[in-house]
Chain A
Amino acid sequence: MSESQNNVVLSVKDLHVYFYTNQRCNKVLRGVSFDVKRGRTLCIVGESGCGKSVTANSILRLLPELSRIEEGSITYYKEDGTEIRLDQLEKNGKEMRAIRGQDIAIIFQDPMTALNPVFTVGYQIEEMLRQHKPGLSKEQYKKEAIEDLADMGIPAPDIRYGEYPHQFSGGMRQRSMIAMGMSCDPKILLADEPTTALDVTISAQIFDLMNDLKREHDTAIMMITHNMGVVAEMADEVAVMYMGNIVEYGPVEDIFTNPAHPYTKALLRSIPVLGKGKNQQLEPIRGSTPDPFNRPKGCQFCPRCDYACPRCEEEMPGEEWVKEGHYTRCFNYREVMADGK
């Protein structure tokens, strides 16, 4: 047990994040807990608006102005054993800025908006190095930036170093984003839908790259996606989110072969799987996701759920442990699991 404890680099406990707009409060995250482990990939999967990106942004304290971490904790375990409570640091304080990029890096979804169009790609990678490794000479910075680009498999990196983002293709932009993220050897890499804007052959390249990084540097990866295919391919652990809660968390095999939450199950049934042909039955999830300002009282999935019972309407189920390392938020999970996939 102590072995696995040591591997935890980031621990999120009972995180609540609320957004305040137009005198209304949107409870975006309503008690999210998970651990990110060294050399493992955690995939957070869910539909748009379920709070996936907010989770990543709250770890790096990049939340917008009118939002607040109301409850819960985000703890980062440094290699030397010290614990840092990220949620208690000042947003733009010295400590937070030192961690951001150095220890925890993020890759955003759309590389075109994440890169600054008026600076060269090389300069933008160097900026990271200047911030976190001060005191090197100009040539050394340049050399490192070119090496980072070369590591990401960008051809002719010394020429590309001096080019602007618009001269790069989508795949190369995303690779230079990863180069930037990886330039300081972070312990944790957050990837917020890193390949949604890319073609499949290019995203396959990006996934290979991320897996190499995980193997070689023992980086912990937390990847956010809405694509179940990507989850099956990349994840070691999966957290399924729905309306601000993790409704199911567990090892990837269990989630796919023996889902314990009705939402996970419905989600798996609603997507066409390659190689199964025209005979597969797609079962759409009935209804649509509720309005975040007018949520169901109890379980958020209750109005769309086949297993709903009167109790579900009244209270949100707690985390029920199916077995070690696999929990679900459902009162009737035994029934769900007994029905098979």
Chain B
Amino acid sequence: MANNEKEILLKVRGAKTYFAIKKGLMKRTVGYVKAVDDISLDVYRGETLGLVGESGCGKTTLGKSILQLVPVTEGSMEYKFEDGFKDLRKLPRKELDNARQKIQIVFQDPYSSLNPAFTIFGSLEDPLIKFGMKDKQERIKKIGDLLESVNLPRDYMTRYPNEFSGGQRQRIGIARALSVGPELIICDEAVSALDVSIQAQVLRLLNQLKEEYKLTYIFITHDLSVVEYLADRIAVMYLGRIVELTTSEELFANTLHPYTKALLSAIPVADVAQKKHRIPLQGDVPSPANPPSGCTFHPRCPECQERCKNERPVLEEYVIDGVSHFVSCHKVKEMMEAKGAVKKESVSE
């Protein structure tokens, strides 16, 4: 797993997306919901990066921030174009449109992401026209090919969304994302709304398309068993921050952050032989408008110390047996220093 050999496709540095809370007649800003709070990460070309966390932890907002679908408050998101890295935040409108040809998104709910008044052809032709395919015959051919690549018959393009099942709609959503030839696809809970037997179809399709089109995925989900199956690396988020980021194997074999441990132990596993010890978490996820001081996880953390209450831990990289492992936790840091694990420079400068 020599990460330095891999090509970085997207560099996110210190990204913050805050939503203002407005109150009163004058709509004064009384506070901020810190949906994404200082996130730095790299996405390598050809990998699947899983983004996991509970609802409200900011995983969807991070996905939307990368696409500039929500106004980003601070930080940079540099994407590697043919002519080098460019910050998506600073691109002029026109260039941003072109950038979106490289980065596409598949939404969670296949029932609301397709316009019911348009045929599948109508829904899928818009991005093609936008990116310069003016000839209708050409578009028909292209859309037919796209439908075939997601295992749907060509002639389905004349049908309307209500004629399709959830799994089929999700595949149409994937076909739409593929239509402009993207390099990076952000899948926002792409399989969460589907029945289990259909989920497997879509998951396999995603893996197959990744090989075929040399895609990179950012896979946002709350379901760790799905992400374990798909992802090369996994980032665990809690209240707008990344608490742990490492390869999929390492995360499950050597879980370090107390939150990840609790999250893993809370997941019901479809295997009667695996009876495990559960780490109960007290209480609910705090509101991102008013996060706790210090480490945001400390009120629920079973290993909370005095220091955690006041001092916010930084996401730091440790190298364990040659695998890089980012964790933000005081306790883990102490443990790692005692063990003498090589510590690299922290990514958030």
Which positions in A face B, CB cutoff 8 Å?
Answer: 47-48, 155, 169-172, 199-205, 207-208, 226-234, 252-253, 256-257, 266-268, 270-278, 280, 282-285, 288-289
Contact = CB atoms under 8 A, between A and B. Distances in A.
Looking at chain B's contact residues, the main secondary structure is helix
Contact of B268 (A233, A275, A276, A285): A233
A277 B228 contact: yes
B267 to A, nearest CB: 5
A201 B263 contact: yes
B280 interface: yes
Given A169-B284, A275-B274, A288-B167, A267 B197 contact: yes
B269 A232 contact: yes
Nearest to A171: B284
Contacts of A231: 268, 270
Contacts of A171: 284
Interface residues of B, number: 42
30 contacts: A47-B195, A47-B197, A48-B195, A155-B283, A170-B55, A171-B284, A201-B54, A201-B262, A201-B266, A204-B268, A207-B268, A208-B278, A227-B196, A228-B196, A231-B268, A232-B269, A233-B269, A234-B268, A252-B272, A256-B271, A272-B200, A274-B224, A274-B228, A275-B228, A275-B252, A280-B229, A282-B200, A282-B203, A288-B165, A289-B195
Given A204-B280, A257-B272, A275-B228, 15 more contacts: A155-B283, A169-B285, A201-B54, A204-B268, A226-B195, A231-B268, A231-B270, A233-B269, A271-B200, A272-B200, A276-B228, A278-B230, A284-B197, A284-B198, A285-B197
Interface string B222-236: 101110111000000
B199 A271 contact: yes
Contacts of B228: 272, 274-278
B249 A283 contact: no
B149 interface: no
Give me the 3 closest cross-chain CB pairs, A-B, nearest first: A229-B268, A228-B270, A204-B266
Contacts of A232: 268-272, 274
Nearest to B284: A169
Given A203-B266, A232-B269, A278 B229 contact: yes
A292 to B, nearest CB: 13
A199 B55 contact: yes
Interface string B212-254: 0000000000101110111000000000000000001100100
B222 A272 contact: no
Contacts of A266: 197
A201 B281 contact: yes
Nearest to A263: B197
Given A200-B222, A226-B195, A280-B229, A272 B283 contact: no
A82 B281 CA distance: 43
Contacts of B230: 278
Contact of B203 (A207, A272, A275): A272
Contact of B196 (A226, A234, A256): A226
Contacts of A226: 195-196
A275 B199 CA distance: 18
A284 B201 contact: yes
B6 interface: no
A267 to B, nearest CB: 6
Contact of B269 (A274, A282, A288): A274
A220 B228 CA distance: 35
Contacts of A252: 272
B136 interface: no
Interface string B107-150: 00000000000000000000000000000000000000000000
Nearest to B276: A275
Given A201-B54, A201-B262, A273 B204 contact: no
B314 interface: no
Nearest to A49: B195
Contacts of A278: 228-230, 248
